Amino acid sequence: MKEKIRLILVLAYFHMRSRYRKTWAGFIWVIASPILTFIVQALIFKSILKITIQDYPFFLLTGLMPWFFISQSFNSITSCLVNSRDMLLGVKIHPILIVGTQVIDQFFNFLVAFAVILVALFLSHSLDLSAAKILLILPSVLILFLFVFSSVSLLAFWHAFYRDIQFIVQFLMNLTFFITPIFYSGDLIAPKYQWIISINPFTPFVKIFQNSLYNYNLNEWLINFSKALVIVLIVFILTSLSYLKKQKEFYINV
């Protein structure tokens, strides 16, 4: 186990080195996209569409950053096992390691972009960041990481069998953005459409961030965290079953 963790960190290091072209400028290039998305959406929804949510940039940040991590990972990592075909067939390496290195990369981007905007808002808005809020944000980040890691592992595995999964994922992620309470809050939706948000598996992962950082609410956080935990467990079981049952077929199809 210790060897595995060491290996995944070393691979993540080299993967990031390769992606950032070994420079800080390369890294800034990578985190520029979540930050720009944030700025544009904050301006559009606040000034043009006149969404009346208090501290709107802060609200948007708590939803948009986890969403960005989820969608970027889903979109870019789904094809990673097929793209690493030569490596998978040439060297003894568990596919999970390849997925893991890329998730760590995306996770690192997410943490930095999140921190950068948080600090900027903190300085300009004098937001209060109490210890209680920070205490809830840590498990939220952890469960989000586990969710992304297990679902991307599942998608990347099945992408070897059905090669258009990547495009379907991209298409669905674009749609899902609008039915997840990211740039609007859930209570703006008419009661008869509330079910759309509640069956959306991404909702709890966004809500735990809103419940902890934006409008601190321990009860709601606990409910959403439990939902998130159940979703992670289901995805984890599906992923494990796929790898165990279809391992041989995977290597033929990849």
Q: For residue 65, what are the contacts with CB-CB under 8 A and spacing of at least 6?
A: 34, 38, 110, 113, 114, 117, 209
* Nearer of residues 97 and 223 to other proteins, judged by Cβ: 97
Residues 142-161 that bind other proteins (CB under 8 A): 161
Is residue 24 a contact point for other proteins (CB under 8 A)?
A: no
Is residue 17 a contact point for other proteins (CB under 8 A)?
A: yes
- Judged by CB under 8 A, the stretch of 34-42, 70-78, 125-133, 164-172 that binds other proteins is 164-172
* Nearer of residues 116 and 238 to other proteins, judged by Cβ: 238
Sign of CA dihedral 49, 71, 151, 114: negative
Alpha carbon distance 83, 4 (integer Å): 22
Is residue 192 a contact point for other proteins (CB under 8 A)?
A: no
From residue 155, alpha-carbon distances to 95, 116, 168, 238 in Å are 12, 30, 11, 11
- Judged by CB under 8 A, the stretch of 80-88, 119-127, 182-190, 211-219 that binds other proteins is 80-88
Could you tell me the smallest distance in angstroms from the CB atom of residue 142 to other proteins?
Answer: 26
The 3-state secondary structure of 151-188 reads HHHHHHHHHCCCCCHHHHHHHHHHHHHHHCCCCCCHHH
Alpha carbon distance 24, 26 (integer Å): 5
Residues 31-70 that bind other proteins (CB under 8 A): none
* Interface pick for other proteins out of 144, 152, 165, 231 (rule CB under 8 A): 165
Is residue 123 a contact point for other proteins (CB under 8 A)?
A: no
In 20-94, alpha helices (H): 24-43, 56-77, 80-83, 85-90
- Token pair 């990211």 in the structure block, residue: 182
Is residue 75 a contact point for other proteins (CB under 8 A)?
A: no
* Nearer of residues 137 and 169 to other proteins, judged by Cβ: 169
Encoded one letter per residue, x for contact with other proteins by CB under 8 A and - for no contact, window 215-244 reads: ------------------------------
* Nearer of residues 58 and 158 to other proteins, judged by Cβ: 158
* Interface pick for other proteins out of 14, 29, 171, 195 (rule CB under 8 A): 14
- Token pair 């592992």 in the structure block, residue: 153
208: amino acid identity, one letter:
I
Contacts with other proteins, residue ranges (CB under 8 A): 3, 7, 10-11, 14-15, 17-18, 21, 86-93, 161-165, 168, 247-249, 251-253
